[in-house]
Amino acid sequence: MKAEISAKEFKNLLKDGLTIMVGGFLTNGTPEKLVDLVVESKVKDLVIICNDGGYENAGVGKLFTNNQVKKLIASHIGTNPVVGDLMQEGEIEVELLPQGSLAEKIRAGGAGLGGILTPTGLDTVVQNGKQIIEVQGKRYLLEEPLTADMALIGGAVVDKYGNLRYLQTTRNFNPIMALASDKVVVEPFETVDEIDPECVITPYPLVDYVYREEK
Amino acid sequence: MDEKQIIAKRIAMELQDGNLVNLGIGIPGLVPNYLEEGKKIVFQAENGVVGLGPLTDEDTYLVNASGMKATILPGGAYIDSLLSFSLIRGGHIDVTVLGALEVDAEGSLASWIIPGKKVPGMGGAMDLVMGARKVIIATTHTNKGKPKILSKCTLPLTAAHQVDLIVTEMAVISVEPDGLHLLEVHPDYSVDDVVNATEAKLIVEKVETMKGM
């Protein structure tokens, strides 16, 4: 069994300036309780990597409302006006990436690759400052790998070993982020005895901690 | 029918039986309402579902790419973001239908940012426009009287040279190497109306009445 972690122990892992990947798509599959604990911890200057900026009071959005973020790397911030305002005021840096490129950059980070070559973003502002490489007569953008100090994983059905599968569409970025981060903390949405090995999406050696709420 | 319904109805006729299709938010989301009986289209949503069904009020962990609670149809699959965008970028999506701020005579699209005003981000749009086999733009012909179909986009691009077809409440326009061809005009409008509402040059050869109207 993977180490269970209490709220207090989880908060002890947090510190200022961490780079944290947070799973979820418009909060679907985001571990809300873990995000709440990050809010309670009051750590600041975080670099957050997430598909989007969540909503003002949900998902990673809560971290912006609480002024804990220095930089966001995401594909979309349109659902959270706080992120847009902080960006316009110069309070935070936002790096916007095409969603498929964001996913592949995280995979590259987790898979030991030096980056990926994609045609997405060519001839747009996304290519600014990036290398263009020609392969078999076609142009591609080099998108470099992304890694993080910690991944917060949600949507998971967890078994007694710490294997994960994911509920419906909560899978999204969660399995990729579990591969690309030093410490992987899971908030179980459901627990079971054992997941059929054919159905395991994230094998337990990738998981460091399973959050357990105190009764 | 209002403008949006006309656009959605006409685009529904473009989808072929068995197509794997990704719909953007806004007008594209109305397209399934107008599919002919018996035509089987598989909808993919980039957040990770193949075989997306209608919206639901029931408690579920299944959402569409707008974050709204939805359903999955028999035969469907949940996938992660990597496989989702592998389908999109890898040319496995037959058709994507997306909205536009501007679209131009070279088939370039601007849809994700109005610098200094609105910066929602590109989400999955850049990958979709780059990777889908056919890119259909669903847009009103003008924005408060201002043409949206231009000789060259002025806003930052979503992708260059990828758009195949533009469907508005006035017309159906195809993007070809020699420019924009006016294919169909809605019965409420004349060819001149369309030409006057379009900043880009339209090649007018054989124009038909908009199908299904």
Contact B62 A168 (CB under 8 A): yes
Superfamily of domain A3-114+144-211: Glutaconate Coenzyme A-transferase (3.40.1080.10)
Contact A78 B120 (CB under 8 A): yes
Of A27, A96, A201, the CB nearest to B122: A96
pLDDT at A215 over 80: no
Using the CB atoms, write b or e for A97-135: b if 16+ within 10 Å.
bbbbbbbbbbbbbbeeeebbbbbbbbbbebeeeeeeeee
Residues 88-107, chain B, touching A (beta carbon < 8 A): 88-89
Query: Please, what are the domains in chain B?
Result: 3-209 (3.40.1080.10)
Q: Which two tokens mark A55?
A: 């909503």
Q: How many helices (H) and strands (E) does chain B have?
A: 4, 15
Q: Which residues of B touch A77 (CB under 8 A)?
A: 119-121
Contact B121 A96 (CB under 8 A): yes
CA distance B74 to chain A (A): 14
Distance in angstroms (rounded) separating the CA atoms of residues A202 and A206: 7
ipTM higher than the 0.85 cut:
yes
Mean pLDDT across B174-193 = 98
pLDDT band at A1 (very low <50, low <70, confident <90, very high): low
Residues 153-212, chain A, touching B (beta carbon < 8 A): 155, 166-176, 189, 201
pLDDT at B117 over 80: yes
Q: Which residues of A touch B45 (CB under 8 A)?
A: 169
A30-49 pLDDT, tens digit per residue, is 999 999 999 999 999 999 99
Contact A168 B78 (CB under 8 A): yes
Mean pLDDT across B179-203 = 98
Residues of B with catalytic roles: 46
Amino acid at A90: G
| Of A8, A10, A38, A6, residue with least CA distance to A22 | A38
A45-82 pLDDT, tens digit per residue, is 999 999 999 999 999 999 999 999 999 999 999 999 99
Domain map of chain A by residue range? 3-114+144-211
Nearest Cα residue in chain A from B112 = A76
Average pLDDT, chain B: 96
B146-175 pLDDT, tens digit per residue, is 999 999 999 999 999 999 999 999 999 999
pLDDT of residue B116: 86
Mutate to test the interface with A, among B25, B52, B60, B61 (most CBs of A within 10 A): B61
Q: Which two tokens mark A210?
A: 């399973």
Q: Which residues of B touch A101 (CB under 8 A)?
A: 126-127
